[in-house]
């Protein structure tokens, strides 16, 4: 019997620019349709770190070039733009792959707002890397020129960092649930969702932030009552002592073991740590729920217990 699965796609599944993305989504679609072909319901949540930074930089350049003609573009609007164009490529690739296999399902992208707390301390301490990687020299120049918060990202280079508040709830959850229950493959909470908070009346105001897509995917999976959350990343399994001679890949993790390794600092902030925390959040939320962390191309093997790291309560 098929499962209801929420998949969190890492940036490596989308490429770093538009030409790369168009190629990458075809590979991504094949791996996801493998799961659909086995009778599973699938909802996709994707990252947008490189893309939202690219959009923000482009809009800022326009404003600087002619401030009378162009107005600054809020980060929440840039997130919405990234949701639209990434979802456009993803849903078309999914639709094409399904039709090629004779699978008659709809594919739809829902521009999704995710509620955050305006008092979240994350707004005081930006930690979420977005945009392209830079050398240390380039990063210093960007900081001096534009006053951006810049930090080193897991040994891969320097990036602009913004606030990353905790997701509280998904505004369009009823729409997403209706699509899933009418046999659609849904792309939702792209880039972690458009961060919003409630103001007077029923108004939702965009926040200057980017929500971590793994945490958003965990909230989405809980609200959809999913059986499984799959977090796809650049490694086949979660490891302790990562990158050291005594590195140990992990097949399974209980909640207690996961918390012990988090406290010991085994997982890199901005890299594996948020994925493991999001995985734990979903696995602990109800009996029988599990999270799988693995490579995109290993997702089907992971579901069938042949690889990946499975986190349970």
Among residues 40, 48, 128, 308, the one annotated as catalytic is 128
Among residues 11, 106, 157, 206, the one annotated as catalytic is 11
Among residues 3, 12, 206, 277, the one annotated as catalytic is 12
Residue 16 is among the residues annotated as catalytic for this protein: no
Report how far residue 237's alpha carbon sits from residue 183's, in angstroms, rounded to the nearest whole number: 31
Beta-ladder partners of 128: 162
Report how far residue 67's alpha carbon sits from residue 268's, in angstroms, rounded to the nearest whole number: 40
Residue 57 is among the residues annotated as catalytic for this protein: no
Query: Are 293 and 311 a contacting pair, CB within 8 Å?
Result: yes
Pseudo-torsion of CA 205, 121, 265, 270, nearest 10°?
Answer: 30
Q: Please give the biggest Cα pair distance in the chain.
A: 59
Among residues 237, 275, 290, 298, the one annotated as catalytic is 275
Residue 256 is among the residues annotated as catalytic for this protein: no
Among residues 48, 213, 270, 302, the one annotated as catalytic is 213
Report how far residue 129's alpha carbon sits from residue 205's, in angstroms, rounded to the nearest whole number: 23
Residue 11 is among the residues annotated as catalytic for this protein: yes
Report how far residue 308's alpha carbon sits from residue 252's, in angstroms, rounded to the nearest whole number: 8
Residue 213 is among the residues annotated as catalytic for this protein: yes
Closest Cα partner for 89 from 24, 42, 185, 32?
A: 24
Pseudo-torsion of CA 297, 298, 304, 310, nearest 10°?
Answer: -130
Residues with catalytic function: 11-12, 128, 213, 275
């Amino acid at each position: 019997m098929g499962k209801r699965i929420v998949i969190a796609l890492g940036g490596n599944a989308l490429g770093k620019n538009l030409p790369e993305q168009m190629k990458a989504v075809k590979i991504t679609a094949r791996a996801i349709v493998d799961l659909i072909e086995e009778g599973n319901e699938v909802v996709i949540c994707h990252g947008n770190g490189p893309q939202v930074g690219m959009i923000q930089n482009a809009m800022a350049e326009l404003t600087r070039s002619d401030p009378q003609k162009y107005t600054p573009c809020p980060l929440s609007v840039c997130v919405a733009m990234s949701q639209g164009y990434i979802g456009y490529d993803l849903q078309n690739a999914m639709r094409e792959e399904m039709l090629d296999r004779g699978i008659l399902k709809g594919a739809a992208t829902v521009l999704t707002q995710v509620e955050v707390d305006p008092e979240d301390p994350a707004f005081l301490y930006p930690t979420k890397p977005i945009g392209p990687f830079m050398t240390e020299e380039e990063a210093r120049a960007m900081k001096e020129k534009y006053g951006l918060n810049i930090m080193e990202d897991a040994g891969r280079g320097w990036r602009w960092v913004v606030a990353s508040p905790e997701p509280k709830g998904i505004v369009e959850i009823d729409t997403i649930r209706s699509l899933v229950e009418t046999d659609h493959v849904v792309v939702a909470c792209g880039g972690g969702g458009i961060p919003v908070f409630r103001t007077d009346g029923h108004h939702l105001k965009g926040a200057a932030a980017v929500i971590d897509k793994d945490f958003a995917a965990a909230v989405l999976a809980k609200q959809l009552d999913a059986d499984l959350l799959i977090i796809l990343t650049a490694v086949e399994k979660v490891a302790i002592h990562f990158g050291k001679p005594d590195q140990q890949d992990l097949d399974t993790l209980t909640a207690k073991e996961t918390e012990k390794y988090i406290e010991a600092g085994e997982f890199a902030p901005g890299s594996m740590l948020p994925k493991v925390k999001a995985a734990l959040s979903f696995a602990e939320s109800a009996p029988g729920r599990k999270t799988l962390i693995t490579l995109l191309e290993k997702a089907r093997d992971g579901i069938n217990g042949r690889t990946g790291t499975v986190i349970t309560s």
